[in-house]
Amino acid sequence: MEGSGDEEPGAGGPLQQLVKRQRKEKRELQAKIQGMKNAVPKNDKKRRKQLADEVAKLEAELEQKHKEELKQLKEASPEQNKEKKAALEKEREERIAEAEIENLTGARHLESQKLAFLLAARHLEIKQIPSDGHCMYRAIEDQLKDRQNSWTVATLRNQTAKYMHSHFEDFLPFLTNPSTGDMYSREEFEKYCDDIANTAAWGGQLELRALSHILQTPIEVVQMDSPPIIVGEEYSGKPIILVYMRHAYGLGEHYNSVKLLTDAATENSS
């Protein structure tokens, strides 16, 4: 029905009154039409056709009248429209403010705070990595730059896929089909490795295990509510350190890199 979508914003005002009157006029017209139909014999085809034309004309005229009335009402009350727009804008701003407050006390903020505290005790801080499906590999790439290793994300992905493919017996038992719960078939495992090399498939603990062997370096994953996970403990040397975040983005899991806290400490002391 025309006007029904605008009834609530104008509740109690001219718009609501107009909508109520128009609905009444529609009911009255339908009653009139029914009376006209009852007055014409069903076997009088000529008169029935004339009646159908008259009914169509009456309905079209009323619809046009109602459209014009709505248009005139809106044009006659620009100040009401401005007030409505201002009220909607104020409501939007209030919702944004509420969301900001919720974020300050929400899981994402609390996780960031706790991780910052854990890292600060080690004179480290989070170094943000884009959330694009490559975050784990990008975080490792960032760590490797400090070790004069120029491997790119593409190299890391290709090397991971190659290593897992050639050591499938070490990884296959840990991969299951999410639909059936069955261990991956060899074909599914081949597809999994191909996705590592050629797509933005997210990386996890299996890929970290492979990378620790490839780089012959321990990889430490710092997280909020659990002790750090160290993959590749059999290797000596300074570990690559990643930060695992459950609530960083709407999509969920995310990896960041770390850097020395010196810059932040200098800023705080100034």
**Token representation of residue 245:** 């975040």
Tell me: do 93 and 125 sit in the same domain.
no
Q: How far apart are the first and last CA of the chain?
A: 66
Residue with tokens 């969301």: 99
H-assigned helices in the chain = 14-38, 45-76, 78-105, 107-120, 135-145, 153-166, 168-171, 186-198, 205-215, 262-269
Does 68 map to a domain?
A: yes
The CA angle 157-160-166, to the nearest 5 degrees, is 140
Tell me: do 135 and 251 sit in the same domain.
yes
pLDDT for 137 equals 97
Nearest alpha-carbon partner for 256 in 107, 125, 148, 157 = 125
Tell me: do 186 and 207 sit in the same domain.
yes
Picking from 34, 65, 100, the residue at the C-terminal end of a domain is 100
Which residue numbers are catalytic? 132, 135, 254
pLDDT for 15 equals 79
The CA angle 237-242-244, to the nearest 5 degrees, is 145
Does 206 map to a domain?
A: yes
Tell me: do 146 and 263 sit in the same domain.
yes
Number of domains in the chain: 2
Q: Which residue has the higher pLDDT, 8 or 258?
A: 258
Instruction: Flag whether pLDDT at 7 surpasses 50.
Output: no
Q: Point out the least confidently predicted range of 175-184, 191-200, 207-216.
A: 175-184
Tell me: do 199 and 137 sit in the same domain.
yes
> By percentage, how much of the chain surpasses pLDDT 70?
81
**Mean pLDDT across 122-134:** 90
Tell me: do 138 and 235 sit in the same domain.
yes
Tell me: do 125 and 219 sit in the same domain.
yes
**Three-state SS sequence of 172-209:** HHHCECCCCCCECCHHHHHHHHHHHHHCCCCCCHHHHH
Structural domain span for residue 31: 4-100
Tell me: do 160 and 230 sit in the same domain.
yes
Task: Dump pLDDT digits (tens) for 82-115.
Answer: 666 677 677 767 776 665 565 555 677 787 888 8
How far is it, in rounded angstroms, from Cα 214 to Cα 159?
7
Does 106 map to a domain?
A: no
> What are residue 13's phi and psi, to 5 degrees?
-115, -165
Nearest alpha-carbon partner for 245 in 125, 104, 112 = 112
Tell me: do 166 and 81 sit in the same domain.
no
How far is it, in rounded angstroms, from Cα 245 to Cα 226?
12
